[in-house]
Amino acid sequence: MTEKIGVLGKKAPQRTGVERVVNAPLPTVYGKFQAIGYMDHDRGDEQVALVYGEIGTDDVLIRLHSECLTGDAFGSQHCECGDQLDAALRAVVSEGAGVVVYLRGHEGRGIGLLAKLRAMALQAEGLDTVEANLALGLPVDARDYGVAARIMDDLGVKSVRLMSNNPRKREALVSHGIRVAEQVPLLIPPCENNITYLRTKRERLDHHLPHLDAVVSSS
């Protein structure tokens, strides 16, 4: 990659941190959001926060949604991601205000799309989602939520009601200085194709999924 050269032949300073780039109205089937686009100069990812209504600063209903092409765009039943995104967008509209941060670079819990597909192929052979990542020599969860915290800072949000079943998201936000007033469950009814995946998330990744009790006891 060619380095940027400034005046007098000097190297242009490299930007760091998260920069707000654009704010555009985004009418959706759920309601009219403001799509606020950010550039994460540290990682090179483009990020977007969908803001609905007047969010204020305290106890803001939010969802940190990890990018999932297969679930969000293609309707994959291997996971519950698409349904969770749908539920989160509906929830903030019902609330009257809230934020859904769509986190690019989080595909496959941070391992990338092709690696995720390789892991899915291994799961089809009998490995669970944790075993599959490890078999590929990859981390079980490589996601970083620092950019989400910086976006909250930019939006003026001090405390949140976090829509998530994953305690590590809560811990990550708290570690970056965002107070989590409440963790709001985002429970999607399981189906035949994702029940094993959801059980693994509960048993090995500490996700809070109490709605699986009835399914587990009847299987």
Contact assessment for residue 136 and residue 155, using Cβ atoms and an 8 Å cutoff: no
Judge if pTM exceeds 0.95.
no
How many angstroms separate the CA atoms of 111 and 132, rounded?
A: 12
Contact assessment for residue 196 and residue 215, using Cβ atoms and an 8 Å cutoff: no
Residue 215, pLDDT score: 74
Residue 159, pLDDT score: 96
Contact assessment for residue 68 and residue 57, using Cβ atoms and an 8 Å cutoff: no
Across the chain, what does the average pLDDT equal?
91
Find out whether 131 is annotated in a ligand binding site.
no
- The residues annotated with a catalytic role in the active site are 141, 143
Residue 3, pLDDT score: 42
Contact assessment for residue 116 and residue 108, using Cβ atoms and an 8 Å cutoff: yes
* pLDDT tier for residue 219 given thresholds of 50, 70 and 90: very low
Q: Nearest Cα to 104, choosing from 153, 34, 46? A: 46
User: Among 5-19, 130-144, 151-165, 194-208, whose mean pLDDT is lowest?
Assistant: 5-19
Find out whether 218 is annotated in a ligand binding site.
no
Contact assessment for residue 161 and residue 61, using Cβ atoms and an 8 Å cutoff: yes
How many angstroms separate the CA atoms of 139 and 133, rounded?
A: 6
Q: pLDDT by residue (tens digit) across 92-107?
A: 999 999 999 999 999 9
**CA 31 to the chain's CA centroid:** 20
Q: pLDDT by residue (tens digit) across 48-89?
A: 999 999 999 999 999 999 999 999 999 999 999 999 999 999
Task: Please spell the DSSP secondary structure of 137-163, one letter per residue.
Answer: T--S-----HHHHHHHHHHT--EEEEE
The secondary structure element, H or E, covering residue 60 is strand 60-66
Average pLDDT on 176-200 reads: 94
- Report DSSP state, residue 1: -
Find out whether 219 is annotated in a ligand binding site.
no
The burial class, CB within 10 Å (0-12 / 13-18 / 19+), for 144 is middle
Residue 11, pLDDT score: 53
Using DSSP's 3-state secondary structure scheme, residue 38 falls into strand
Residue 145, pLDDT score: 95
Find out whether 65 is annotated in a ligand binding site.
yes
Find out whether 19 is annotated in a ligand binding site.
no
Percent of the chain with pLDDT over 70: 91
Find out whether 191 is annotated in a ligand binding site.
no
Strands lying side by side in the sheet with 179-184: 18-27, 32-40, 45-52, 98-103, 60-66, 159-163, 179-184
Find out whether 107 is annotated in a ligand binding site.
yes
Find out whether 170 is annotated in a ligand binding site.
no
**Partners of 47 in the β-ladder:** 38
Average pLDDT on 158-183 reads: 96
pLDDT of residue 218 exceeding 70 = no
* pLDDT tier for residue 214 given thresholds of 50, 70 and 90: confident
Q: What angle do CA 30, 18, 20 make, to 5 degrees?
A: 55
Average pLDDT on 16-28 reads: 95
